[in-house]
Amino acid sequence: MNRDAELSLDRIARGSSLGRLLTRICFGVLVLVLLGPFFVMLSTAIASNRAVVAIPPTWLPDQIALSNFREAFSVIPLARYFLNSGIIAGGATALNAIAAVPAAFALARLRFRGRRAFLIFIIATQMISPVVLLIASFKLMLVLHLLNTYWALIFMDGTISLPITIWIMTAYFSLIPQEVQDAATLDGVRAWRMLKDHFVPLGVPGIVTALIFSFVIAWNEFVFALTFITNPTIRPLTTGIYAFMGQSQIQWNYLMAASLLAIVPVFVIFLIVQKRLASGLSAGAVK
Amino acid sequence: MVALEPHTQTRRLVPKGPTTEHLKTGLTHVSLIALAGLLCAVFLCYPIIDTFWLSVHNVNEFGQTQGFSGFANFATIFRDPAFRGSVLRSGVWTVVVVGVTTVLGLFVAVMLNQPWRGRAIVRGLLLLPWVASLVVTTLLWQWIADPDFGALDHLARTLGLIHTNIAWLGNGNYALPLMMWIAIWVSVPPTALILLAGLQGIDRDVYEAASLDGTRGSRLFLDVTLPLLRPVLTVTVLLNVIFVFNSFPIIWILTEGGPLGSTNTLPTYMYNLAFELNEMGAAAAVAVVMFFILLAFSTLYTRLAWRNVAR
């Protein structure tokens, strides 16, 4: 549909001009409310030690200290936390990938006994939350001697996102034309090979979407990290920043600078794949 | 969604014809799903079963069971007024947060679905509350609500709404609404973006047909858009309920359920019981209760939602 038709349709959809004005004002206020806090984060992150405790507070700091971003690294062991979060989220995502891709392929394209049961099982586990699992999984990690190791979080984070990644990938794999499978089958290609040579290359958008979910869930995970990891040297960013806040008089400008840095990598990834991401979710939703 | 429409999903997934003959080597199929099945069994199913097991036993602080105790753990928590308060607060918390989130998210989605300048920028920036971890956003709000230097009191004073600063987190009457707002604030953007994807999936021809019939404005929204958006809306509500009901970091970071338990919901009540008071058995009982509340809700909700759609 061309742009003119789109605009005219839009006019039909919107109704009277007073109503339209009110709607726009409400929307404007809502956007300000949703984004305003990030403005506060930014203005605090660049405020000098004196400006951050100014009374009355100011919207923009009168003294700017970009050195906060460097200071944050020396006050909080940020580099260490970034590395830990990278290892944990990267490990969890890798584990998730090698488990979810073949499983989703099997669910989407193959007929086998117990397939339906497995599907229902995957759906049911989606309801299970980290909080409910916490006590028994703590005990499990204790028994496996995995407390205070990266592995505890890699296993839990990689598994907790399995239902959603399998679900998204299954939706994608089932969209790939049947001819691809038929042709490969006629050539006598077996399941694993078919997956590797045909379905993985064609399913890249879906696989990437799903794995980004896995990565972000692990990167932002808090409850397991809080419970499984007490050793400061392997803490991820989330509990690292939280612990920093608990132990001292909070220096909010450093904390906000650190928070800003923690958001950036994930924000950039999301921005790049934004379109794909939302459509991936709703593809799963409307299927 | 798979969860809501198992029958159609199954039918669509199964490849037609005899083409799968070659693939019917059971071992291959098992190997494909083996790792996923194993991980889920060890790290999801076993803990769930163990939680049920713990909930009916006496458990020491290391999680070792010391004899069957029947429903003693459940009796203990049901007698505890703090538990009853937490159940109530969890209910209010979930209903208010999901309700407001859905309305605001739908509003944002509809606005973002219309062409206007700067739309792409706003859509991009709305990712921020979503991608930032709850720890970061919660700390940000703690700073905003700071009674001495925070932006919230500053704003309220500038607008003339208050004359003396409010210590938002020192008082349960202010702390809980503030934390609900934070939960809404982080939930609106993802909800809006998923609903937006749903709106963009609606065929433009439907609108054209409706407008030829003379349907206009709000009627167009209520009679055409909303029914078509329903499947996506159903999914977002379900996912939000699960997510919001289990929400832990916001309350734990800001008040740890205090002051005096006045902001406890089930997750923080449970955490406190398990890891501060070392009452592992009773905490497992709380986890079991939470599990059943969600199970009951999901079952009922998917039944109702899909019956209405089918009608």
pLDDT digits (tens, 9 = 90+) for A239-285: 998 888 776 677 888 888 988 888 888 888 777 776 665 555 555 44
Select from A212, A181, A189 the least CA-distant residue to A100.
Answer: A212
Contacts of A142 (CB under 8 A, 6+ apart): B62, B63
Judging by DSSP bridges, how do beta strands B57-59 and B65-68 pair with one another? antiparallel
Residue B9: pLDDT band with limits 50, 70, 90: very low
- Alpha carbons B194 and B98: distance in angstroms, whole number: 15
Q: A49 with A188, same domain?
A: no
Q: Using the predicted structure, report yes or no on whether residue B286 has a pLDDT greater than 90.
A: yes
Tokens of B191: 């909800």
Q: Which of A125-134, B112-121, B134-143 has the highest mean pLDDT?
A: B134-143
Give the pLDDT of residue A247: 67
Cβ–Cβ gap B133/A271 under 8 Å: no
What would the mean pLDDT of B147-160 be, rounded to a whole number? 83
- Alpha carbons B208 and B231: distance in angstroms, whole number: 22
Best B5, B27, B149 member to test A by mutation, with max A CBs in 10 Å, is B149
Select from B202, B239, B297, B192 the least CA-distant residue to B2.
Answer: B239
Is A192 contained in some domain? yes
Is A283 contained in some domain? no
What would the mean pLDDT of A37-51 be, rounded to a whole number? 87
CB A119 within 8 A of CB A237: no
Q: A32 with A110, same domain?
A: no
Hey, what CATH topology would domain B75-310 get? Answer: MetI-like fold (1.10.3720)
Give the pLDDT of residue A123: 72
Chain A residue closest to B13 (CA)? A108
Q: A237 with A107, same domain?
A: yes
Average pLDDT, chain B: 83
Greatest Cα pair distance in chain B? 78
Q: A34 with A114, same domain?
A: no
Chain A residue closest to B235 (CA)? A285
Select from A123, A138, A210 the least CA-distant residue to A173.
Answer: A210
Burial of B80 (0-12, 13-18, 19+ CB in 10 A): middle
Counting other chains too, the contacts that B212-218 makes at CB distance below 8 Å and 24 or more residues apart are B216/A12, B216/A15, B217/A12, B217/A13, B217/A14, B217/A15, B217/A16, B217/A19, B218/A15
Instruction: Give chain B positions within 8 Å (CB) of A166.
Output: 36
Considering only the beta carbons, identify the residue of A14, A26, A103 that sits closest to B36.
Answer: A103
From start to end of B7-143, where are the E strands? 57-59, 65-68
Residue B163: pLDDT band with limits 50, 70, 90: confident
What would the mean pLDDT of B250-257 be, rounded to a whole number? 90
Give the pLDDT of residue B6: 39
Tokens of A144: 């496996």
For the segment A53-95, what is each residue's pLDDT rounded down to a tens digit? 777 777 787 777 788 888 888 888 888 999 999 999 999 999 9
Bridge partners of residue A125, in order along the sequence: none
Give the pLDDT of residue B101: 96
Is A260 contained in some domain? no
Residue B7: pLDDT band with limits 50, 70, 90: very low
**A183: CATH:** 1.10.3720.10
Cis peptide before A236, with omega less than 30 degrees from 0? no
Q: A146 with A31, same domain?
A: no
Note the Cα A123 to chain centre separation in Å.
20
Note the Cα B86 to chain centre separation in Å.
17
Which tops the pLDDT comparison, B231 or A221? A221
Which tops the pLDDT comparison, B8 or A78? A78
Tokens of B235: 């999914």
Give the pLDDT of residue A285: 44
Cβ–Cβ gap A278/B197 under 8 Å: yes
Q: A56 with A96, same domain?
A: no
Per-residue DSSP letters for B184-245?
HHHHHHHHHHHHHHHHHTS-HHHHHHHHHTT--HHHHIIIIIHHHHHHHHHHHHHHHHHHHH
What would the mean pLDDT of B248-272 be, rounded to a whole number? 90
For the segment B175-186, what is each residue's pLDDT rounded down to a tens digit? 999 999 999 999
Average pLDDT, chain A: 83
Is A261 contained in some domain? no
CA distance A152 to chain B (A): 10
Q: A56 with A109, same domain?
A: no
Q: A235 with A100, same domain?
A: yes
Domain's final residue, options A45, A69, A93: A69
CA distance B72 to chain A (A): 18
Is A153 contained in some domain? yes
Q: Which of A9-18, A173-182, A189-198, B153-162 has the lowest mean pLDDT?
A: A9-18
Q: Using the predicted structure, report yes or no on whether residue B4 has a pLDDT greater than 50.
A: no
Per the structure, how many domains does chain A have? 2
Q: Which of A121-130, B114-123, B223-232 has the lowest mean pLDDT?
A: A121-130
Q: Which of A167-176, B143-152, B196-205 has the lowest mean pLDDT?
A: B196-205
Which tops the pLDDT comparison, B204 or A153? A153
CB A84 within 8 A of CB A75: no
Q: Using the predicted structure, report yes or no on whether residue B13 has a pLDDT greater than 70.
A: no
Contacts of A3 (CB under 8 A, 6+ apart): B115
- Alpha carbons B304 and B163: distance in angstroms, whole number: 48
Q: Using the predicted structure, report yes or no on whether residue A40 has a pLDDT greater than 70.
A: yes
Is A107 contained in some domain? yes
Which tops the pLDDT comparison, B74 or A116? B74
Tokens of A235: 């803490």
- Alpha carbons A216 and B130: distance in angstroms, whole number: 10
Best B143, B159, B163 member to test A by mutation, with max A CBs in 10 Å, is B143
CA distance B137 to chain A (A): 9
- Alpha carbons A128 and A116: distance in angstroms, whole number: 19
pTM score: 0.83
Note the Cα A193 to chain centre separation in Å.
30
Is A280 contained in some domain? no
Instruction: Give chain B positions within 8 Å (CB) of A160.
Output: 43-44
Q: Which of A23-27, A77-81, B215-219 has the lowest mean pLDDT?
A: B215-219
The domain ranges of chain B are 75-310
Q: Which of A233-247, B13-27, B30-44, B260-274 has the lowest mean pLDDT?
A: B13-27
Q: Which amino acid is at A215?
A: F
Q: A187 with A136, same domain?
A: yes
Q: A53 with A98, same domain?
A: no
Cβ–Cβ gap A252/B28 under 8 Å: no
Domain hosting A53: range is 3-69
Q: A237 with A177, same domain?
A: yes
Q: Using the predicted structure, report yes or no on whether residue A13 has a pLDDT greater than 70.
A: no
B48: helix, coil or strand? helix
3-state helix, strand, coil in chain B (%, to 5): 75, 0, 25
Q: A81 with A57, same domain?
A: no
Residue B5: pLDDT band with limits 50, 70, 90: very low
CA distance B217 to chain A (A): 4
Is A282 contained in some domain? no
What would the mean pLDDT of A233-239 be, rounded to a whole number? 92
Q: Using the predicted structure, report yes or no on whether residue A26 has a pLDDT greater than 70.
A: yes
